Amino acid sequence: MKRLFPYFLLLKPYWFAFLIALICGVIYGVSSGFGLPYMIDQVFPKIFPAEKLDVQLSTWELLMYISWFPLVFIIRGTSSYFNSYFINYCGIRVLEKIRFQVFEKLQRLPISFFHRNQEGDLLSRMISDTGQLQAAILQVSNDLIKQPITFIGAITALIVMAVQREGMAFVLLCLLVIPICVFPIRRIGELLLNKALNMQEKAGNLTSILSENLSAYKEVRAFNLESREKERFENVSENFIDARMKVIKYSHMLTPLIEIITAVGISAAIFQASRKSIQLDAVVPVIVALYMSYEPVKKLGGIHTSIKQALASLDRLEEILETDESISSPPEPIEIKKIRGELEFNNVSYSYSNRKEELNEIPALIDINLKISSGEVVALVGPSGGGKSTLAGLLPRFYDPDKGSVLLDGVNLRDLFLHDVRDAVALVPQKPFLFDLDVKKNIELGQSKYTHATINEVCQLAYADEFVNEFEQGYQERLGEKGSRLSGGQLQRLALARAFFKNSPLLILDEATSALDTENEDKIHEAMAQLIKGKTTLLIAHRFSSLKLASRILVMDKGRIIADGPHDEVYRNCDLYRTLYDQQNEGLT
Ligand code: ADP
């Protein structure tokens, strides 16, 4: 319960609904635990007197006594309904807040977090774990107030009856079976925590495989991977079912166990009552009160097991909530009034793995020293894995250097407001991502404090207007998930339009590796030439035809800069560059 306390604080805005639920829960508990047996105790002897009375009850009197039954059930039923309604409302609200907290956290976590965690597993945490939590919150909230009050009410009724009647004290002894119930409750709870954690992990694996498979639908067909995928899915699905059955095995064990233990208690009461020749009308209310005190124990045991299952899911959500936000704004960020766009990398090293066993892995960047002046266009060239994307990724602070620093206009990026840094960098990635929105909204996502052109203007600059105008709904045309309705060249042009719209002083152009038709390629080059004007640009060049846009070439290999200068000079002095350049030229001729 202590672990859950911070989450109870989330109830604060819903205190009124919680209060009503609490009051209704108390009314339900008192009417069930105390009211029911007490009413039976009072009414039964009047309706079925032990000795034959001279005067029979009149119909009206009989009706009056009988009406106590529906009355108690009306009070019990109504309070139960309102208790459930309001407590579920509170539970759902709290769950929504937790889900939102996790989602909000996911927006702030560094890129490295997404490298470490699979998309499917994160999806599973957001959907399946919060769902598990929801089921538990609803079950727990239904019984949390009602059952303890019912228990107290029933015990009070038992004590009142035991005191009022001679020879009834033995019923109190029957309550001794209750502590026995604590053992299975605790043991099963412990077992369930582990089993539930295991089940949620397996659910994560299942979602991971599924999301990977759905993203790779083309590859699955192209490489005939259908049966391999089926087998993989079957295996994880089987593991999930095993884990789930273990949870079912233990979670359903508790109720029958407690029922058996309490049945022994009730039998003992009947045995004693018969021994002491107590009349039936005196025994019935006692048995009802005894049942009313055992029932909450059973329900509270159920709550315990649900809480254990919920804790397993909460653990997995808290893992996200507690992840270090290593990349964030400093407490007192420096503000650069007008960014000129001068960059400086001082002794920068970066390694993707910070785990000990991988320390001997070659870092992605090693001792990079580099100055780029304002408005300079620098092409990054080199074999795949050389460190080009990693170097560019340091600018929007996707990563922070392990050693050394990156300065913008002489200020360390870490000392700036993170939002300002990201506003100052426009990125045109290799595979642009378009949201399932219309064209206009997709470009508007590029809005920054540097934006000054209109959507139409930027689309013209990026040569996107020609194909957008051909859409039936023009700029209002929806693009479909991930922009799947567009060709590679169109996607690139929209990404360029977004960068034109953002108009940031720093630009990263990560050229698409896939070949484009000549018309698209020419237009994209012309658009790029417009876009880089006046902006400090890092161009990750995959096609050497783009190199003419750059005034300076940086050749990167194995995390180091091995050549730096204008094309002619680098071509003359750097063997690697010469080989790569000549190979591409040969390919073209
Ligand atoms: P390039 O852009 O020149 O192809 P990268 O910057 O992508 O090179 O990669 C540099 C090195 O970092 C490579 O050795 C690559 O394997 C490694 N690397 C890149 N991304 C990751 C990642 N997410 N996790 C681990 N290693 C990575």
Mean pLDDT calculated for residue range 84-91: 88
Q: Tell me, in angstroms, the distance from the centre of ligand 1 to residue 389's CA.
A: 7
Residue 96 in contact with residue 385, Cβ under 8 Å? no
Choose one of 119, 350, 352 to mutate for the ligand 1 pocket test, by most ligand atoms within 8 angstroms of C-beta: 352
- pLDDT digit string (tens) for 45-86? 888 776 766 667 788 888 888 888 889 899 999 999 998 899
* Of 423 and 511, the one with more pLDDT: 423
Tell me the angle at which helices 280-321 and 146-164 cross, rounded to the nearest 10 degrees: 150
Q: Which of 58-62, 315-319, 509-513, 528-532 has the lowest mean pLDDT?
A: 509-513
Q: Look at ligand 1, atom 24, and give the residue with the nearest C-alpha.
A: 352
Binding site membership of 115 for ligand 1 (Cβ less than 6 Å): yes
Q: Which residues pair with 522 in a beta bridge?
A: none
Instruction: Kindly tell me if the per-residue pLDDT of 5 is higher than 80.
Output: no
How many A from CA of 584 to the centre of ligand 1? 23
378: part of which helix (H) or strand (E)?
Answer: strand 377-381
Residue with tokens 């640009």: 537
Taking residues 223-246, report their average pLDDT. 92
352 lines ligand 1 (CB under 6 A): yes
Q: Which of 412, 361, 368, 411 is nearest to 538 (CA)?
A: 368
From the CB of 386, is ligand 1 less than 6 Å away?
yes
Determine the Cα–Cα distance for residues 316 and 310; give it in Å rounded to an integer. Answer: 10
Q: Which amino acid is at 163?
A: V
pLDDT at residue 357 is higher than 60: no
- Rounded to the nearest angstrom, the gap between the alpha carbon of residue 462 and the centroid of all alpha carbons in its chain is 37
What 51-60 contacts at long range (C-beta under 8 Å, 24+ apart), as own/partner pairs, is none
Strands 411-412 and 425-428: unpaired
Summarised one tens digit per residue, pLDDT across range 282-302 is 778 888 888 888 888 888 888
Find out whether the beta carbon of 87 lies less than 6 Å from any atom of ligand 1.
no
Tokens coding 569:
């000079």
Task: Evaluate: CB of 389 within 6 angstroms of ligand 1.
Answer: yes
CA distance 541 to 547: 7
- Which residue, judged by its Cα, is nearest atom 6 of ligand 1? 387
pLDDT band (50, 70, 90) for residue 167: confident
Close Cβ partners of 380 (under 8 Å, ≥ 6 residues apart): 388, 391, 392, 538, 539, 540, 541, 554, 556
* Predicted pLDDT of residue 407: 96
**The ligand 1 atom nearest the CA atom of 556:** 3
Centre of ligand 1 from the C-alpha of residue 366, in Å: 13
Of the candidates 543, 239, 555, the one whose C-alpha atom is nearest the C-alpha of residue 380 is 555
Cα(527)–Cα(500) distance, rounded to whole angstroms? 9
Atom of ligand 1 nearest to the CA of 559: 10
Minimal-distance CA residue to ligand 1 atom 10: 387
Residue 398 alpha carbon to ligand 1 centre in Å: 13
Average pLDDT over residues 503-522: 80
Distance between Cα 411 and ligand 1 center (Å): 27
Quote the crossing angle between the two packed helices 36-47 and 59-66, to the nearest 10°.
Answer: 160
Q: Is 201 exposed, middle or buried (0-12, 13-18, 19+ CB in 10 A)?
A: middle
For a pLDDT cut of 90, what percent of the chain falls above it? 32
Adjacent-strand bridge partners of 253: none
- Mean pLDDT (the chain, rounded): 86
Q: Is 393 in the pocket of ligand 1 (CB under 6 A)?
A: no
Atom of ligand 1 nearest to the CA of 383: 3
pTM value?
0.77
346 in Cβ contact with 407 (< 8 Å): yes
CA distances from 121 to 128, 200, 201, 322, 545 (A): 10, 10, 8, 17, 41
pLDDT over 50 (residue 589):
no
H-helix or E-strand containing 553?
Answer: strand 552-557
Answer with the residue of higher pLDDT: 16 or 35.
16
- pLDDT at residue 483 tops 70: no
Residue identified by tokens 């940086």 is 554
- The average pLDDT across 161-173 equals 77
Poorest-pLDDT segment among 334-338, 433-437, 505-509: 433-437
Tell me, using a 6 A CB cutoff, whether residue 429 lines ligand 1. Answer: no
Comparing 143-152, 161-170, 323-332, 452-461, the range with the smallest average pLDDT is 161-170
Q: Is the CB of 561 under 6 A from ligand 1?
A: no
Alpha helices (runs of H) in 109-216, residue ranges in sequence order: 111-116, 119-124, 130-144, 146-164, 170-174, 177-215
Q: Which helix (H) or strand (E) holds 575?
A: helix 575-588
* pLDDT tens digits, 140-150: 877 878 888 88
pLDDT bracket for residue 419 (50, 70, 90): very high
Ordered by where they begin, the domains of the chain are 5-321 (1.20.1560.10), 332-353+362-424+551-589 (3.40.50.300)
Pocket flag, ligand 1, residue 364 (CB < 6 Å):
yes
Lookup: tokens for 291: 């049942």
Distance 16 CA to ligand 1 centre (A): 54
> What confidence tens digit (pLDDT) does each residue in 562-587 have?
999 999 899 999 899 998 888 877 65
154 vs 358, residue with greater confidence: 154
